Each structure stands twice: as structure tokens, then as C-alpha cells.
Structure 1
């Protein structure tokens, strides 16, 4: 089974772009290390195509080359947080209608190619400098959840998971800045994503 992961820095996680087999040091690598021993007799190939800084429109522009042309059995998509962050960091404007068109097109291209689609929603934890982003992020998240529920074969609601933990544990246990996960946060992403993947490996 071939699984391609497309996303931003959370997926990229310092992968070596010169090495097609590099999985980075985040949730994709952790997931691979957990999945392969469970299915030692199954040929499982994981490919990381995360690109740090990508917005949804960037992933849409490269989804043919980085996902569809690789002819995977499944694609895992985590996208959207940079669309919000870049508005506050660089003064860009997040057009929610355009975001929905791009996000829907990204998922539809994968789905129409006959690829199993697993969507991992982005998350935003309560770091002090991220609190002002929450209202806009909530609007984006509503779009992500609605479109993913319609199109994805599997959907994991990470924002709910991470913020539920933040109520009882300091968010810094799971994220260095409210967006990028610590190793513990990456393990949590991997542990929940693997459950979605395993439903289709039985």
C-alpha cells in the first residue's frame, strides 16, 4: 500500500528534499515507525510531500505532481493553518470563499483520481500570540469540516483533540508555539492518524 502525505511544515518537518524517501522527523516518520511493525508482511510505502509554508492554493497547484502522479492507494491531507497565519504575519487577506473553492478543489482532485482520502484538520492551540487568530480560524475550520465531511473517506478533528488537552495540560506540552507540534504532539497526530489508516488495511 502506498500512502502519500501532503501538507505544510507540520507534515514536512525538515524532510530532506533531495531524498524522495525522507519522511522528516515529525508525525509522518513516527507513523511509519509504528505502522510497519504492525503489518510486517505488507508492502507499505509512505511518501512525505509536505512543504513548509504552503497554503491550500500551493498544494492545489502541485497536487497532480506530488500526489496523483505517484499513483498512491491513499492520500493524507493536512492543510489550512498557513492561510490564517499569513494574514496576521504578512498582512495577506484570507478570502473565505476562495479558500473553500481551493480546498474543495484539492480534495476533489484526489478523490476523483480514485485515491482513498484521509483528511487531518489543522489545529490552533492557545498560545498568547495566537489568540487573536482564533475567530478567523474558526471560520476556516467550519469550511474544512464541512467539505471534508462531504468528500473524505476518513476525517480526524485535531483542533478538538488538541484544545481538549490544553484545558488540563499546558499547551506547550504539545506545541512549541500553538501551531507546530512538539515530539509529543507529533506522536498524538500519528497515533490518531494511524487509527484512520488501519481501517483500510484490515
Structure 2
């Protein structure tokens, strides 16, 4: 743990009023975590009036916070914060309306229910890979989209009946009917000898 954050470039700069950059950033995030709007807004405004670069840093933290600290407490939070970040760019840096967007963003974030599970899971992944506990490809990953799957003879029917399974499955008679109709279509497609007079459109055989 002693090497964690051993170098932080924001610790080398100060804000307009002489506060350490790393300190004002920490104040912003910890205040939002605790729902302390006034403190969070004060930290944000100090960042804003310091420089456009600090304002950009402010918005990067707000976007991260919308996932890191809000998480499943409000899954719409990232969309709103990203949208507000885009809108503020339509106003000049010294336009009096521009701060309104981070004010709104922070007030919103402070008032949401919060949970940090995605950040915790991310950190566990990092530690697992660090200690050599990486990826083992499971059998269900091998299908017609992989070379090994094709070598195993796994075709489109295997994909439809096994590799494309979704859990939990959304229930619905129309969903079930469409699946069954398509499955039957694929089972008997080779029996269809009709050919279009126009050459069929060609798709890539691999995914971008």
C-alpha cells in the first residue's frame, strides 16, 4: 500500500486560493460521497476559477463519481453527468451560465443513494491479475465465432441452442415465438434452394 499514489501530478499544483490540487480534488469527492452539497460546491468552484484545465479535471471526477460512488444507486447518473458536461462546453469559460452545469451535477450526485460495488470489483480484478489469477476461457465461449469452436464443429445451431443463451431470460410469448421460428428456419435452411437474382450483401465474417 505504501506505493499507492506515490506520484500525483495534482499534488504539485495549487488552486487560485493556494489550496493543494490533490486536496481540493479529494474534498470534492469525499463531500459528494457524504452528501455535503455546500462543501462539494465550494471545492468545485475553487477548481473552476483556477483554470480551464482544473475545470476539465472537475468534470472528469464528476463522471467517475457517477459510476464509482453512485453506481447502482442511480444507473441514469452517468448519462446526466455526461450530458451536462457536453452542454457546458457550449458556453465560454467566463460565461456566467457555465458554472450552473457543475452546480446542478453536484447537487444531483449528492442527493442520490450511493454504493461502490463496481469500484470494489474493479480493484479486486486488478489485484487478481497482479497475483497471477488471470483469465481461463470457459467451454461456453467456444462457438462458431472462434477458431477453436469451429474446429470443435460448433455451428449455427450450437450457437442458437447454447452459445446465445441469455440469463436471466426476459419472458414473453412473442420472444419465445420469434426464437422458435428462427430456430426452425435455421434447421431447414439448407432445404431452401431458392436464390436471389441479386447478389446478397456481404458482411464481415469477424467482429470489429
TM-score, structure 1 normalization: 0.27
Larger helix share, 1 or 2: 2
Larger strand share, 1 or 2: 1
| Bigger Rg, structure 1 or 2 | 2
TM-score, structure 2 normalization: 0.26
